[in-house]
């Protein structure tokens, strides 16, 4: 069947314009070499008709069964990426097509690149389909809840190999470096042979656009610096974000904060996240507006949102940048004992911002989410971090994606929620100890349930409540008068 699978993959690649019909023989020969095949039948009957990810899975199964590779996660990943690299154009060609499409429209360019990233299996669509996703109503709007099942668990042999090798290789320096483009991969480091990036000049620097291999929302993309340097939130970062939205007005773009606890998972490489998606925070209403005494050309408001967000809007990018930088500098040095906000512990800074930029009705818009990473004896993981009573659902950092209203919850919850459903239905169950109090409370409020669909809907609703609490914990100002004190500091 391997020949039918190869022909099926080639046919599919032609259909989605990864290759031209004239590339068939060349591409086939590259693929059969990777599978240790020396020849190919003159005629292949019953060509396998399937999706690219499914065809790849069939080919990898053949490779394992025929000892081309061992049945180890990294070897399978590397071969999969190497096979698809036979179908993906060189980086310069991909960039040329992208910028040619850009002459038609920015959306045409990103549509081309997004489809390429999916068709080349760099974006792992089969794995992403495994994620559980639903909407949950809240007083702040419709929140997105995702239980992340797309990242496969490592098998015991993979873990053993990583322990045995323990080699320190400094290339690429991290998962976000531009040097990952086309990198074969190794034990403990992901395969990127089929990975391509788009060069996007910003403020006299080269930045590179790519899509996340595990997209959490539509066109989930990453913009990374050419230089491997720490993340930094400053006026330059704000300007890059706004300049990017000029180039790609159909995308929002934002940055994780640049401090531990409130920052993202990778603080060692300057990068932003973008995409073509409207989060709940995008459409959040104003709680109240206020004047910026020094920046009358910039409208300002505080959002009705669980985190503490200042929204700025202006037709004048320069004035908007000045206002945003002034708010950042004020916040960096701002303390308010009654809100438990402290700017520094000795020389250690605690205040920073998670910024999000977009174009709205032809004007520039910048959301500044105030963050503080201080800890205390009562909250050792962070005062403005999910508190202990919600850790059974989420205790990881609240980064950019969560800030905007999309929960990325751990895979363990799939099985754990199933046990809670059984409990609510009066069936045999094994509810985890850390869920016992929550499950008991839901039962007390709703009684014994009799319908599985009802139990599922109820748990989705309750998860939404928990995520709302997670976000509220991360808000630095719990009351309007606390926010107004900060606004007074801005306007001094």
Q: What are phi and psi of 387, to 5 degrees?
A: -80, 165
Buried b (16+ CB within 10 A) or exposed e, 386-420: bbeebebbbeebbbbbbbbbbbbbebebeebbebb
pLDDT tens digit sequence for 92-106 = 999 999 999 999 999
- pLDDT tens by residue, 401-419: 999 999 999 999 999 999 9
In this predicted structure, the answer to whether residue 157 has a pLDDT above a threshold of 80 is no
Res 151: pLDDT: 73
Q: Is residue 435 a contact partner of residue 413, using CB atoms and an 8 Å limit? A: no
* pLDDT for res 440: 97
The pLDDT of residue 154 is: 61
User: CA–CA separation, 172 vs 179, rounded Å?
Assistant: 6
Cα angle for residues 400, 406, 409 (degrees, 5° grid): 100
Alpha-carbon gap, residue 78 to 187, rounded angstroms? 9
Tokens of 304: 């009705």
pLDDT at residue 166 tops 90: no
Phi and psi, residue 484, nearest 5°: -65, -30
How far is Cα of residue 194 from the mean position of the Cα atoms in its chain? 20
* Whether the Cβ atoms of residue 253 and residue 228 lie closer than 8 Å to each other: no
Chain center to CA of 232: 19
Query: Quick one: pLDDT at residue 155?
Result: 64
Which pLDDT band holds residue 200 (cuts at 50, 70, 90)?
very high
pLDDT of residue 152 exceeding 80, the answer is no
Q: Crossing angle for the helix pair 317-332 and 235-247, nearest 10 degrees?
A: 150
Residue 156 pLDDT more than 80?
no
Bridge-partner residues for 367, per DSSP? 311, 356
pLDDT at 121 over 70: yes
The whole-angstrom separation of Cα 113 and Cα 273 is 16
Which 3 state secondary structure label does DSSP give 313?
strand
- Arithmetic mean of pLDDT, 179-207: 96
pLDDT at 13: 98
- 241 closest CA partner among 140, 298, 312: 312
The pLDDT, as a whole number, for residue 201 is 97
Percent of the chain with pLDDT over 90: 94
Rg (CA), the chain: 25
Q: pLDDT digit string (tens) for 305-339?
A: 999 999 999 999 999 999 999 999 999 999 999 99
* Whether residue 160 has pLDDT greater than 80: no
The per-residue DSSP string of 337-394 comes to: GGGTB-SEETTEE-EEEEEEEEEETTEEEEEEEEEE----SS-TT-TTS--GGGTTT-
Nearest to 384 by CA among 261, 485, 480: 261
Cα-to-chain-centroid distance, residue 284: 21
Nearest to 270 by CA among 229, 241, 235: 229
My answer on whether omega of the bond before 481 falls inside 30° of 0, hence cis, is no
pLDDT tens digits, residue range 123-133?
Answer: 999 999 999 99
Give pairs for 333-340: CB < 8 Å, separation 24+: 334/486, 334/489, 336/482, 336/485, 336/486, 338/482, 339/476, 339/477, 339/478, 339/482, 340/374, 340/376, 340/383
Section 77-91 average pLDDT:
98
Query: Domain ranges in the chain?
Result: 2-68
Whether 265 shows a pLDDT value over 90: the answer reads: no
Q: Are 352 and 371 in contact (CB under 8 A)?
A: yes
Residue (of 99, 87, 82) closest to 20 by Cα position: 87
Reading the block at residue 145, the tokens are 């809840």
Give percent of the chain with pLDDT exceeding 70: 98
Looking at residue 175, what DSSP letter applies?
A: T
pLDDT band at 161 (very low <50, low <70, confident <90, very high): confident
Give pLDDT tens digits for 19-62. Answer: 999 999 999 999 999 999 999 999 998 999 999 999 999 999 99
Q: What is the DSSP letter of 18?
A: S
Q: Contact at 8 Å (CB) between 353 and 368?
A: yes
């Amino acid at each position: 069947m391997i020949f039918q699978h190869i022909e099926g993959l080639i046919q599919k690649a032609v259909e989605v314009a990864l290759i031209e019909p004239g590339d068939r023989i060349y591409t086939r020969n590259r693929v059969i070499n990777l599978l240790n095949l020396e020849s190919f039948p003159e005629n292949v009957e019953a060509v396998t008709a399937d999706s690219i990810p499914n065809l790849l899975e069939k080919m990898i199964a053949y490779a394992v069964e025929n000892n081309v590779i061992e049945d180890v996660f990294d070897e399978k990943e590397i071969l999969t990426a190497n096979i698809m690299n036979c179908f993906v154009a060189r980086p310069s060609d991909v960039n040329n097509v992208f910028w040619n499409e850009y002459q038609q429209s920015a959306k045409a360019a990103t549509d081309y690149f997004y489809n390429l990233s999916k068709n080349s299996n760099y974006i792992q669509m089969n794995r992403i389909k495994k994620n559980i996703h639903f909407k949950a109503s809240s007083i702040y709007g419709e929140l997105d809840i995702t239980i992340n099942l797309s990242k496969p668990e490592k098998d015991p042999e993979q873990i053993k190999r990583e322990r045995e090798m323990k080699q320190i290789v400094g290339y690429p320096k991290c998962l976000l470096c531009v040097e990952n483009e086309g990198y074969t991969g190794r034990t403990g480091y992901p395969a990127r042979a089929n990975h391509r990036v788009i060069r996007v000049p910003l403020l006299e620097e080269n930045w590179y656009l790519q899509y996340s291999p595990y997209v959490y929302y539509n066109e989930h993309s990453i913009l990374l610096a050419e230089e491997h340097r720490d993340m930094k939130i400053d006026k330059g970062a704000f300007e890059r974000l706004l300049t990017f939205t000029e180039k790609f007005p159909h995308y929002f773009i934002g940055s994780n904060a640049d401090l531990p606890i409130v920052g993202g998972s990778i603080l060692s490489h300057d990068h932003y996240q973008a995409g073509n998606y409207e989060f709940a925070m995008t459409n959040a209403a104003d709680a109240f507006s206020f004047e910026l005494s020094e920046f009358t050309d910039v409208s300002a408001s505080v959002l009705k949102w669980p985190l503490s967000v200042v929204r700025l809007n202006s037709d004048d990018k320069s004035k908007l940048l000045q206002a945003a930088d002034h708010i950042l500098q004020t916040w960096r040095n701002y303390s308010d004992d009654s809100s438990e906000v402290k700017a520094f512990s000795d020389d250690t800074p605690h205040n920073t911002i998670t910024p999000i930029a977009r174009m709205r009705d032809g004007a520039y818009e910048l959301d500044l989410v105030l963050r503080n990473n201080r800890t205390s004896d009562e909250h050792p993981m962070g005062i403005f971090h999910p508190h202990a009573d919600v850790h059974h659902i989420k205790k990881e950092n609240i980064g950019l994606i969560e800030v905007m209203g999309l929960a990325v919850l751990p895979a363990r919850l799939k099985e754990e929620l199933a046990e809670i459903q059984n409990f609510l239905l009066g069936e045999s169950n094994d509810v985890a100890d850390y869920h016992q109090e929550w499950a008991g409370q839901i039962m007390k409020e709703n009684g014994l349930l009799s319908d599985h669909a009802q139990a599922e809907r109820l748990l989705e609703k309750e998860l939404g409540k928990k995520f709302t609490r997670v976000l509220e914990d991360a808000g630095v100002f719990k009351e309007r008068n606390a926010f107004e004190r900060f606004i007074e500091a801005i306007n001094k």
